[in-house]
Amino acid sequence: MEGKLSSVAKNFTPSPIQELSQLAQRCNAINLAEGFPDFPAPPCIKEAAVSAINNDFNQYRHVQGICDQLALKMKKTHGLNVNPLTDIAICCGQSEAFAAAIFSIINQGDEVLLFDPCYETYEGCITLAGGIPVYVALEPPQWTLDPEKLMRSFTSRTKAIVLNRSDLCLFVLPLKFTPETFIRGHSPHNPTGKVFSRDELEIIAEGCRRWDCVAITDEVYEYITYDNQKHETIAKLPGMQERTIITSSLSKTFSVTGWRIGWAIAPASAASAIQNIHIRITDSAPAPFQEAALTALRSPNEYFETLRGEYELKRDFCMKLLSSVGFRIQFKPQGSLFLFAELPKDCLLSDVEYVEELIKQAGVVVVPGRGFFHGNESCKYQKRYIRVAFCKSGATLNAAAQKFGELINAKACPKIFY
């Protein structure tokens, strides 16, 4: 059968993050690699899902109430008018919503700009659609955007700009959208936890207007921001409301990454295209979890404030832990569920070697940073970072801290700690 595989299938290999998570399971290691919570989802939404199953909501289904709730949220939070009947497509998670948006726009040979370091899934969607990824590096340690570098990256073949996960993606698109179009952006970035500044958003908006771009946002971390940072929509900038597609999901906000309930909010023409692609690929998002989504989307503001506060404490705990063993954290995450930490200054190991030693010596698994970089491999810093997911229970984080402490006290691993 191997000889029958398509060229696309042959070029797609297992994700390094998935491989490390599988290794963690085999080694019974503490998993700080993969960005999923290991604590329970809110009881009320689990009860809603169970109730839906018991009431036989088990067939193909479109729950219009989700669209109604999302439209209300967009109006209340951002003052944006969204038609729940025409401007929203329910999908199997944000990943499918984003992929469907890419498939609805990118043609063979179109160039797509991505900001490096970059969430890995985006490149796969672009190549599946026949697009060509082109990377624009953000400058460490603050991961700042160089406006001149951005503008020089455009060519006559540029069709899109993607600000990787949980920021926004900008697409050159000749469609004429209806007045209901909008955008949201300024969300935290994976892997760095960066939230783009207003000045950076202005630069991006200028690129959109100059190149007639459409924005697609990934907003799964819109409620997970820290230190009084707030999710801000780029749609409020001049000329931006009419050129946007939003993608998001329940996954991160409600700790249900396996439920696969997401959506795209877009001008009617784009939403229709995304919905048509979704139907041809998966037909329907899981019916019982759509019903549970109604309960989730009606959550009071107190839920989101509590969520933000709890994750901020987890972030601070992990920053203190990693700093205590020599990691250099020059950028404090402003949002998301990740720390992007630089290896100790005197550590001679690469990121991959470090992760391997950490698994062997401490029984803790994190992600080598190089998997998020795609540009100039001669840049030494690309092999000097690891990503740590802190969306874990207090018990898990305390266990990881204990493992680190045992190694330090025993001086068992001089290669790692300095």
Fold classification of 43-304 (topology level): Aspartate Aminotransferase; domain 2 (3.40.640)
Asked if pLDDT for residue 22 goes beyond 80, the answer is no
Classify residue 275 by burial, with Cβ atoms within 10 Å: 0-12, 13-18, 19+.
buried
For residue 183, the model assigns a pLDDT of: 30
pLDDT in tens, 312-334: 999 999 999 999 888 989 889 88
Confidence of residue 401 (pLDDT cuts 50, 70, 90): very high
Q: What percent of the chain has pLDDT over 70?
A: 89
Confidence of residue 68 (pLDDT cuts 50, 70, 90): very high
Nearest residue to 95 via CA among 248, 306, 287: 248
Provide the CA 223 distance to its chain's centre, in angstroms: 13
For residue 191, the model assigns a pLDDT of: 72
Question: If you classify domain 12-39+310-412 with CATH, what class do you get?
Answer: alpha beta
For residue 218, the model assigns a pLDDT of: 84
pLDDT in tens, 356-379: 888 888 899 999 998 888 866 557
Cα–Cα distance, 220 to 242 (Å, whole number): 22
Evaluate whether 369 touches 351 at the Cβ level (below 8 Å): yes
Evaluate whether 264 touches 271 at the Cβ level (below 8 Å): yes
Q: What is the mean pLDDT of residues 177-204?
A: 61
CA angle 151, 153, 158 (to 5 degrees): 105
Query: In the chain, what is the straight-line distance between the N-terminal and C-terminal CA atoms, in Å?
Result: 50
Residue type, 328: R
Q: What is the mean pLDDT of residues 259-274?
A: 94
The segment(s) of the chain belonging to CATH 3.90.1150.10 are: 12-39+310-412
For residue 166, the model assigns a pLDDT of: 39
Q: What percent of the chain has pLDDT over 90?
A: 45
pTM of the model: 0.88
Nearest residue to 161 via CA among 192, 183, 191: 183
The segment(s) of the chain belonging to CATH 3.40.640.10 are: 43-304
